[in-house]
Chain A
Amino acid sequence: MPRQGQKGRVRRRAVLACAIVLLPVGCDSRPADVEVDLSRRTTERTPSEAGVLRFAIGTMLTPRETAKEYRRLAALLGTRTGRTIEVIQRPSYPETNSLLESGGADFAFVCTGAYVVLMPSPEILAVPVVNGKATYTSLILVKQSDSAKDIADLLDSSFAFVDPLSLTGRIFPEWSARKAAGPGRRVFSETTYTHSHSRSIDLVATGRVRAAGVDSLVFDHMLQNAPARVAGLRILQRSQQFGIPPIVASPRLSPELRKALRAALTLMHLTPEGREVLAGLGFERFVAEPDPKTYQGISDMRQSVLAGGNRRP
């Protein structure tokens, strides 16, 4: 019997040794976390849920920067209105305008140049106030090392536009250059559309283009939050004051929601969280009724540019 017991121990030890040897080599036979039947397919996108308000934002910043900066604004507006706010971006101002006109967006933050195209149809819900003013300017930027003294020195140089409808990023700079160049003369040797003021700033900073026209609000915001990106730049020319880009309502948005959104926007600065959101955007507050005069003359300036500088605003 002791011999049998010893054999049993030896056998158990042999099995244990084999298990130790084979255990690490064993195939990974864990069950899958997700089972997918490839025969079940769907081709349709689920539409937005009913009641969701779609907030279109013109890409004055890069889409990434816009998404980051305006996400909290959208969330706060959703809280104040009791609705889910979906942020929508489009690569160009005309597409954003198209969303507004087609009802693809319920309200939108649009560039002044894009707003002027839509006037008088879209109702302004509110405009931001920066440094006590609801106006902004267009800045012609060059590198600090650039020898240009005014925009006439930039003629026949490369230039970055933001968007065909951008007031500060295309309309004013081109209008100003055409005025300096005189009728019939080519103003810039090469132009490129960046669809973002911040991208235009980066192109000048990196020397890809000699100059660019940008939104003063974006430049000041960048100067405050990312000074290194603008450290090597110089403002060659500053435009007159223009009406600041507004938040406008789609013609299809109900009066109640317009009222609710306007209230949420204009009362935002009264709460700490509202002030925090405003500070993130570089705004002091929103006001409901901007000075109409600040938007006057912009449409003529645009028409002058479209006509090749033959018309004067």
Chain B
Amino acid sequence: MKVPGMRLRLLLTLFVPLVIFAPITLAVVYRAIETAITEQADARGLAIAREISAVVEDQVLTGQAFAAERDIADIVREQPDVRYAFVVDSRGQVFAHSFQGGFPSDLLAVQGAPRPASGVLRVSLDGRIVHDLAAPIVGGVAGAVHVGVSARRAEDSSHAVLLRLSLIGVGIVLVGLSVAWGVSSRVARRIRHIAVVAEAIGEGNLAARVADPARDELDHLGASLDQMGTRLAQASRDREQAFSRAAEAQRLAAVGMLAAGVAHEISNPLTGVKHCLEAIRSSPYDPDKYARYHELMADGIDRAQHVVRQLVGYARPRPLDLAKLDLGSLVRRVAELLGPTAQRAGVRTTVSVQDSLPKVLGDRAAIEQVVTNLLLNAVDAMPEGGDMFITVERSDGHARVRVRDTGNGISQENLAGLFEPFFTTKGSSNGAGLGLSVSRSIVQRHGGRIDVASARGEGATFDVLLPFGGAIEAAAGQEAAR
């Protein structure tokens, strides 16, 4: 069911009570006025009856019927709405009356008819309603005067009042409708405006404002929304500044950390080279020492070169050479190449590859580097030997290479920095701490990710997830664009 709009609901809320209560009020007012008019007409009729009673009292008591009729006729003639007046004597007989051509015999029934509390009898004179009012003569001892007042005049007055009240009612309803329409439109418009501003703020336009001077509740609501927008804009600016400062601090920290790592990794072999040169200088003619130190210096320079190459590879990676790869074969070959190393470390290697696994799109050398890093890390994690399980399988739309070792595992605090550059737990002689950083960079460039799960004493599991199909091609597209 369609819910009526705010304007219509407001309009109905304001207008419907008016439409209901205005006619009720006017009807009650009309009823009261009509009653008052009728009572006033009846009171006037009774006053005329009493006046006649006073005038004709002596005439009735002394039997002067003609004089009484003359006086009655004079009084009735001056009252256009008095249809008749007549006097009944103590015997209940008509003593005098105002009718021409004889007294209507039916009218005598008003004497015996029971009267309501108002004292007014409704008499129909050939269909025309007349209110009969009676006034006693000498307390009823000498009879009574009856006066018939036409109900028409009171009805005409009442109808005139009804017409005016009806016009007033229509006017009230029309004015009420206009006011209700105006109020509902204005309120709905203002609410809609506030809603538009709220939506704009919600969509990020923090400069949007209601901008209505506060006069009533809706203005206060708009002002509150404006204040909220102002605070949000300020908060947004503060946050951007904080982000900017944090990014700068992070960048400086990374540069510092990188510089420290580079310095550390290069400084060590250079120090060794320096020591060798000093040793050679102290014994320049000792061929054995020269040969031995020459070899040590060559090793030191190799190590420094290795660090520099890795760093360059991390900082400025070469473009990927994408091709369709059989990931299972690739992993098996790397495992075979590293087999002797694992054996020397007392590590048993188990490789498991899922059948008919689709090929992935990737750079062979880069992927081999990633797998090599993971296998060497696993071997390094088990200095006293253990088992290394390598599985290649489909997982959640990806090709997954899982390398699990049975080493000591990785602590929670080390897990957090595991993929950061120059992060290592092996000591300076066993790695520069760039292997996992470079591996993650390579996998991300392929559209994949590396996950790690480990706990202290329970070994570690590294998952490399590489996408099949379109995702790989999308990654390839991005790579091509890069």
A residues with a Cβ closer than 8 A to B are 17, 20-25, 30-38, 40-43, 45-46, 48, 59, 62-64, 66-68, 71, 86-91, 95
Q: A89-B62, A90-B63 are in contact. Are A36 and B107 (CB under 8 A)?
A: yes
User: What 0/1 readout, one digit per residue, does chain B (18-61) give for beta carbons within 8 Å of chain A?
Assistant: 00100110011011000000000000000000000000011001
Contacts A/B (CB < 8 Å), 25 sampled: A24-B30, A24-B31, A32-B124, A32-B129, A33-B113, A33-B121, A34-B110, A35-B106, A36-B106, A36-B126, A37-B126, A38-B125, A40-B104, A40-B105, A41-B103, A41-B105, A43-B102, A45-B94, A67-B138, A68-B138, A68-B139, A71-B141, A86-B91, A88-B63, A95-B62
Minimum Cβ distance to chain B for residue A198 (Å) = 13
Contact of A25 with B30 in the complex, beta carbons under 8 Å: yes
Contact of B123 with A33 in the complex, beta carbons under 8 Å: yes
Minimum Cβ distance to chain A for residue B42 (Å) = 13
The reply on B416 being an interface residue by CB < 8 A is no
Can you add 6 more A-B contacts, CB < 8 Å, to A23-B27, A41-B103, A43-B101?
A20-B24, A24-B30, A25-B31, A33-B121, A38-B126, A67-B61
Minimum Cβ distance to chain A for residue B163 (Å) = 12
Number of interface residues of B (CB under 8 A): 41
Contact of A35 with B124 in the complex, beta carbons under 8 Å: yes
A143 vs B324: C-alpha distance in the bound complex, in angstroms?
Answer: 152
The reply on B122 being an interface residue by CB < 8 A is yes
The 8 closest A-B pairs by CB, nearest first: A41-B102, A63-B61, A32-B124, A24-B31, A43-B102, A36-B106, A91-B62, A24-B27
A40 vs B110: C-alpha distance in the bound complex, in angstroms?
Answer: 15
A45 vs B31: C-alpha distance in the bound complex, in angstroms?
Answer: 44
Contact of B113 with A34 in the complex, beta carbons under 8 Å: yes
A23 vs B142: C-alpha distance in the bound complex, in angstroms?
Answer: 44
Question: DSSP class of B's interface residues: helix, strand, loop or mixed?
Answer: mixed
Question: DSSP class of A's interface residues: helix, strand, loop or mixed?
Answer: mixed
B104 surroundings in chain A (CB, below 8 A): 36-38, 40-41
B109 surroundings in chain A (CB, below 8 A): 34, 36
Contact of B124 with A21 in the complex, beta carbons under 8 Å: no
The 8 Å CB contact of A25, one of B27, B122, B124, is B27
Contact of A30 with B30 in the complex, beta carbons under 8 Å: no
A62 vs B62: C-alpha distance in the bound complex, in angstroms?
Answer: 10
Contact of A34 with B106 in the complex, beta carbons under 8 Å: yes
Contact of B162 with A25 in the complex, beta carbons under 8 Å: yes
The 8 Å CB contact of A89, one of B24, B63, B123, is B63
Q: A32-B124, A36-B124, A37-B106 are in contact. Are A48 and B162 (CB under 8 A)?
A: no
A149 vs B62: C-alpha distance in the bound complex, in angstroms?
Answer: 38
B99 surroundings in chain A (CB, below 8 A): 41
Contact of B58 with A64 in the complex, beta carbons under 8 Å: yes
Q: Can you name the residue of chain B whose Cβ is closest to the Cβ of A196?
A: B58
